[in-house]
Structure 1
Amino acid sequence: MTVTIRDARSADEAAWRDLWAAYLAFYKVTVSDEITASTWGKTMNPDSAIFMRVAEVDGKLAGFALCLTHEGTWILGRDCYLEDLFVDESQRGKGIGRALLDDLVALSRENGWSRLYWHTAEDNATARKLYDSFVKSDGHVRYRISF
């Protein structure tokens, strides 16, 4: 098995949409087709702070990481926020999630970003096992108001 981590390309759209649908189903959420199209468009726009790295296994997309960089009030540089990370269910346990995270750590260092951070569902034991191997939770609780 050969895993390649790279920037998403326009030719990846159909495969990404399949993974995106599985990701949303995993979290039992729905987003409109308009939001999905907008998310894809942002990842393809070089002026957007949002970017996507994909994991390709033997020529087929097996996972993705959707991130954005932003300024912060407690740092001099930029933060990298990993908003979405997903690996196809059939490919889990093969190191693909770790490869995506390793890639983001390397990109963060290369770009001089101050921090890489993310969050996950408290009961997502599988993801938390991987995440805890990188760094322990900082103990913060997220609050969100949707409009």
Structure 2
Amino acid sequence: MSAVTIRLLAATDRAEWARLWTGYLEYYQTSVPQAVYDGTFARLTGDDPQNFNCFLAEVDGRPVGLVHYLFHRHCWKIENVCYLQDLYADPSVRGQGVGRALIEAVYAAADANGTPAVYWLTQDFNETARRLYDRIAQVTPFIRYNRKL
């Protein structure tokens, strides 16, 4: 595989971003309405890059991965923290450094923003990704709960 290049999402990336995000959602056996695609892309390419962002990973000029991340306040810290919300590598490039490069790009963006704390969630069955995460991050004992609707 050629070298992985990481860059910020651009307004011209809509189709490739949608393809990758659809792959991510399908991996987790879910989908979202078109209005969510539209709203999310508008936020990612809008005028508030300090809070909601996306990097694309490219190989030979072709997008093969994405990561969404955002900065937010935290009651236990003065500085903001960074939540890495969605991470996806196309199945054709998994195990070739795309995920790691995307996470490291988020780490660098967080450091540049004065936001050294970066965290994310994953499903317990996501064993392939967890092997990477165990090498570059620390697992915590927290269990997530969602409001019952």
In 2, Cα distance between equivalents of 1:8 and 1:126: 25
State TM-score, norm by structure 2.
0.94
In 2, Cα distance between equivalents of 1:51 and 1:129: 25
Q: Are 2:69 and 2:106, in contact at CA under 8 Å, matched by a contact in 1?
A: no
In 2, Cα distance between equivalents of 1:101 and 1:95: 10
The number of equivalent residue pairs is 147
Letter in 2 for 1:25: E
In structure 2, what is the equivalent of residue 95 of structure 1? 97
In structure 2, what is the equivalent of residue 128 of structure 1? 130
Q: Are 1:75 and 1:114, in contact at CA under 8 Å, matched by a contact in 2?
A: no
Unaligned 5+ segments in structure 1 are none
Letter in 2 for 1:67: Y
Percent of pairs identical after alignment? 36
Give runs of aligned pairs for residues 1-147 of structure 1, distance below 5 A.
1-47=2-48, 49-145=51-147, 147=149
SS in 1 for 2:92: helix
Q: Are 1:55 and 1:62, in contact at CA under 8 Å, matched by a contact in 2?
A: yes
Deviation of 1:102 (Å): 1.0
Q: Are 2:107 and 2:118, in contact at CA under 8 Å, matched by a contact in 1?
A: yes
State TM-score, norm by structure 1.
0.95
In 2, Cα distance between equivalents of 1:146 and 1:129: 31
Deviation of 1:135 (Å): 2.0
Structure 1 runs (4+) deviating above 2 angstroms are none
In 1, Cα distance between equivalents of 2:22 and 2:140: 30
Deviation of 1:46 (Å): 2.1
In 2, Cα distance between equivalents of 1:107 and 1:33: 29
Q: Which moved more, 1:108-117 or 1:32-41?
A: 108-117
In 1, Cα distance between equivalents of 2:109 and 2:37: 25
In 1, Cα distance between equivalents of 2:40 and 2:147: 20
Unaligned 5+ segments in structure 2 are none
